Amino acid sequence: MPSAVKINALCELCHCRKAVMRRPKNLQKLCKECFIHVFETEIHRTIQREHLFYRGESVAIGASGGKDSTVLAAVMKTLNERYDYGLHLILLSIDEGIVGYRDDSLATVKRNQSQYEMPLEIVSYKQLYDWTMDEIVACSGIKSSCTYCGVLRRQALDRGALKLEVHHVITGHNADDMAETVLLNILRGDTARIEQSVNITTNSQGSPVKRSKPFKYAYEKEIVLYAHYRKLDYFSTECTYAPEAFRGTARTLLKNLELVRPSCILDIIHSGEQLKLKHKRRNASSEMEVRSNGSVSLPNKDGNRCERCGYLSTNRICKACILLEGLEINRAKVQIDGTSVDGAAKLTKTLEHLAF
Amino acid sequence: MVIAQCQKCKREPSTVVSRKETFCKSCFLKFVKGKQRKQMKDGRFKVKYGRNEDQTTEKTVSAILAFRFDGSSLVLLDILISWLEEQLAMSPRAHVGFNLTVLCYSLEQPQSWIAEKATQIKTKYHGEEGISRLHVKFEILDCNDEVKRNEGLSGIYLTDHFESLIDRSNKVKGDALKMIDTQIQDKSAQEDLKSVVERDVIVRHCLQLECSILLLPDCMSELAISVLAFTARGRGERISETLGDNYIDVDGNRLEVLYPLRDILKSEIESYLKICDLERFQAPKIDNTFKSVKNKTVNELVREYFESVEPEYPEVISTVVKAGSKLRIPFSEGDVKRCGICREIINDDPQNWLESITVNEGIPAKTEEEKRNYELYLSSIQRPEERELYTAGNKESISLCFGCVADLRNLRGKFSWPAD
């Protein structure tokens, strides 16, 4: 006969199975079955409430092979079948060209492709920009690597989606990422972004690709637990190029706050939804903003196109083209034969395989 | 060793370095006072002229200084007193620009300590006679007494579905401040609810005294802490009220709130205290050096964060305050609802918001063993004290804001509070 379970050891939702974890979001003690159920149902409710998709829509899942995008692919496949969304799901990966890191994570995405039976498209920085991240870091240093990567990846995802004739990309940004963005926008005084910090969907006027974040309210820890309980296959190494230093301080603060007040991630998102800017007095249509770098913002902020690449931009030349121009100026004119621009990831991987 | 020269007067040796500039003592004090004057440059506070005081009485506004015995309160009081002295010395016909009531209170220190320190401070400024000449009055406030004057404490309940209920039928007499400590385990929630009491007591006292200007001593660093702490507690809408709008509306009355030290850094407050020998009047500080992160509060963590990033990113504090001052109160549609605990305007229904993002239904029992466990659970909740939580009884619905719901979210049982 099975041993009797103590009442206070039971799951706080079903009250019939033994609790195996404390839910990071609200500290509820839950059994594995209830946790998986509430996690998936909450994502489903978010999708329904925000009307993220329409029947028959083709949706690209931004897949890096990491925990967030792997769980996103798994959950989307489950929900699409369970609730009959009628979506056509495609995996879209970006190969930034970080030898020893991205090649490994792309191998995970390729395994996910067969596990979830979804088509996969890989777009590389090399194809699009003629630069890899390893080359960019070798040229401009490690400190600004996230600036380059962030700007280029955003464009690459859009271009990849258009190549597939898909107009909706979903990404694995979770509640922790949202909360971190709210804190960062306040700390940087970025009033242009403060109101949009927690938007679940971003769709600039004139942009052919919409982006959504179905994990807006899902805690990072819960995503990891979900991947663990469902035994999902994901790549868990952090990018070897150091994260931006200031963002790192905000992340540490958020983790400390979460330790003393687990609800703080949702609390910050709620605060983010309440942040509204005072109305500007100046007449935006008759004025042009000259930025500190000399670039001029165009009067109609949405829907403008870059003169060089045709990508959506608030300036005449988009940020990616400005960054690439700077890189081209500094590109080595002569390459010594046999030298490699592979970055720290490759070196780490080589060292890992050394043995006495 | 070469002693640097003051960059302002270019005569005296420098004693303070602030914002990459060197100052001698007098130039530093002038610099800090200049920042305060900028915030109170309004004509209402300027020196009044007249043959006798009766001629200026009508024109003289009254302001209350919330004096909590911290460094910023002491610096602001010192600056205001020296300003009033300057005003009187301007001409034989000059009279003070404003009447000042110093509202002395502390949530931590006993009343005897507050009274003793208030006397010492008055002595420093030439005693009762000296301060009354400047139209400065000291008042001692007992926060506990103010809360107790309320009709009694009602029980507030938060259900598993974030529904908030209140039982007004069984009001009990009690000490609300002590009740916070005994009822709430979470230190950050305690800190937040105490600040609600503090603010409520001060605002109501201002209205009682028919005073329309409240001077709060928070400096730039403290305001930046408030901005991030409000954000972390789900009280984002409070940022605009604190930094953006300068007004508090209570029961149809409008109170103007000013932060005269909002351009001054904490390090500058500390230098000022040292130069003017004011440190001895401060309430004892709690040492957090050996506290683990888990035992700290939201405010303590945010304070430490700013202290750690300030050397590398010195502009971050002013950036946060500037960003906060660009925000406005989000408009609420329809009738304005106020929170039953903190009396803040409720912009969206926290119950709806939390319910929409949290699933509270599990997977029902399937196996025999699971069904048996469920039966056991059902019989266990039949005990009266737990049943009380789940049945409505005399309880009625009460509106709570998101910040207060967040504070009470992990509370099991009732929360006694002086709700209206």
> What confidence tier does A218 reach under pLDDT thresholds 50, 70, 90?
very high
Q: What is the pLDDT of residue B254?
A: 85
Mean pLDDT of chain A: 86
Q: What is the pLDDT of residue B382?
A: 61
Mean pLDDT across the stretch A218-243? 89
Mean pLDDT of chain B: 87
Q: Which residue has the higher pLDDT, A8 or A214?
A: A214
Query: Which residues constitute the domain of residue B277?
Result: 40-148+191-325
Rg of chain A over all Cα atoms, to the nearest angstrom: 22
Is the pLDDT at B326 greater than 70? The verdict is yes
Find, in chain B, the residue whose alpha carbon is nearest to that of A183.
B228
What Å distances lie between residue A122 and A135, A156, B199, B351, CA to CA? 19, 10, 57, 43
Helix (H) or strand (E) holding B238: helix B237-239
Show residues of chain A in contact with B321, CB under 8 Å: none
User: Within 13 Å, how many C-alpha atoms sit on residue A313's CB side?
Assistant: 20
Q: What is the pLDDT of residue B124?
A: 94
Domains and CATH numbers, chain A: 35-276 (3.40.50.620), 289-329 (no CATH)
CB of B305 within 8 Å of a chain A CB? The answer is: yes
pLDDT tens-digit readout, B383-394: 555 545 555 567
CB of B246 within 8 Å of a chain A CB? The answer is: no
Q: Does some domain include residue B46?
A: yes
CB atoms within 10 A of CB A59: 22
Q: What is the pLDDT of residue A4?
A: 66
The answer for B304, left when phi > 0, alpha when psi is -120 to 50, beta otherwise, is: alpha
3 state DSSP class of B182: helix
Q: Does some domain include residue B383?
A: no
Write out the DSSP string of B100-123.
EEEEE--SSS-HHHHHHHHHHHHH
Counts for chain A of helices (H) and strands (E), in that order: 13, 9
Distance, CA of B419 to chain centre: 19
Q: Does some domain include residue B29?
A: no
Q: Does some domain include residue B4?
A: no
The answer for B251, left when phi > 0, alpha when psi is -120 to 50, beta otherwise, is: left
Q: What is the pLDDT of residue A292?
A: 58
Distance, CA of B170 to chain centre: 30
pLDDT tens-digit readout, B252-303: 788 899 999 999 999 999 999 999 999 999 998 877 777 888 889 999 999 9
Show residues of chain A in contact with B369, CB under 8 Å: 2
Copy the structure tokens of residue B239: 């940022």
Counts for chain B of helices (H) and strands (E), in that order: 17, 17
Copy the structure tokens of residue A311: 């990508």
Q: Which residue has the higher pLDDT, A92 or A147?
A: A92
Q: Which residues of A are annotated as a binding site for ATP?
A: 62-64, 68, 94, 172, 177
Q: For the stretch A267-306, what's the b/e string if a residue is b when 16 or more beta carbons lie within 10 angstroms of its beta carbon? A: bbbbbbbbbbeeeeeeeeeeeeeeeeeebebbeeeeebeb
- Cβ–Cβ of A276/B380 closer than 8 Å? no
For residues B407 and A120, what is the distance between their CA atoms, to the nearest angstrom? 45
Mean pLDDT across the stretch A71-76? 97
Is the pLDDT at B375 greater than 80? The verdict is yes
Q: What is the pLDDT of residue B71?
A: 96
**Candidate from B239, B319, B365 with C-beta closest to A188:** B319
> What confidence tier does B378 reach under pLDDT thresholds 50, 70, 90?
confident
3 state DSSP class of A331: coil
Most confident of A68-72, A339-343, B405-409: A68-72
Q: What is the pLDDT of residue B389?
A: 56
Mean pLDDT across the stretch A129-147? 85
Q: What is the pLDDT of residue B114?
A: 95
User: How many cross-chain Cβ pairs, A to B, lie less than 8 Å apart?
Assistant: 176
CB atoms within 10 A of CB B338: 17
List A60's β-bridge partners, or say none.
Answer: A90, A169
- Cβ–Cβ of B240/A276 closer than 8 Å? yes
Is residue A107 within 8 Å of A64, Cβ to Cβ? no
For residues B231 and A194, what is the distance between their CA atoms, to the nearest angstrom? 12
Copy the structure tokens of residue B86: 């300057």
A21-22 vs A29-30, strand pairing mode: antiparallel
Nearest one of B366, B395, B375, B229 to A33, comparing CA atoms? B366
Q: What is the pLDDT of residue B77?
A: 97
**Candidate from A17, A46, A194 with C-beta closest to B370:** A17
Q: What is the pLDDT of residue B393?
A: 62
Q: What is the pLDDT of residue B86?
A: 94
Nearest one of B146, B292, B273 to B209, comparing CA atoms? B146
CB of B316 within 8 Å of a chain A CB? The answer is: yes
Q: Does some domain include residue B330?
A: no
Q: Which residue has the higher pLDDT, B21 or A339?
A: B21
Q: What is the ipTM of this complex?
A: 0.91
pLDDT tens-digit readout, A252-289: 999 999 999 999 999 999 999 999 888 765 555 555 66
Q: Which residue has the higher pLDDT, B415 or A175?
A: A175
pLDDT tens-digit readout, A202-213: 876 667 899 999
* Count: domains in chain B: 1
Q: Does some domain include residue B97?
A: yes
Check residue B18 and report its DSSP letter: E
Write the CATH number for B135.
3.40.50.620
List B278's β-bridge partners, or say none.
Answer: none
Is the pLDDT at B22 greater than 80? The verdict is yes
Copy the structure tokens of residue B376: 């056991």
Chain A nearest-CA distance from B95, in A, is: 39
List B99's β-bridge partners, or say none.
Answer: B62
A120-124 vs A88-95, strand pairing mode: parallel
Q: Does some domain include residue B415?
A: no
Nearest one of A132, A33, A39 to A79, comparing CA atoms? A39
Q: Does some domain include residue B258?
A: yes
Lowest mean pLDDT among A46-50, B165-169, B293-297: B165-169
- Cβ–Cβ of A25/B322 closer than 8 Å? no
**Candidate from B294, B359, B373 with C-beta closest to A10:** B373
- Please name the residue ranges forming H helices in chain A: 32-49, 67-82, 102-116, 125-129, 133-140, 145-163, 175-187, 191-194, 220-229, 245-260, 264-274, 319-330, 344-352
Nearest one of B107, B125, B38, B123 to B69, comparing CA atoms? B107
Q: What is the pLDDT of residue B409?
A: 83
3 state DSSP class of B389: helix
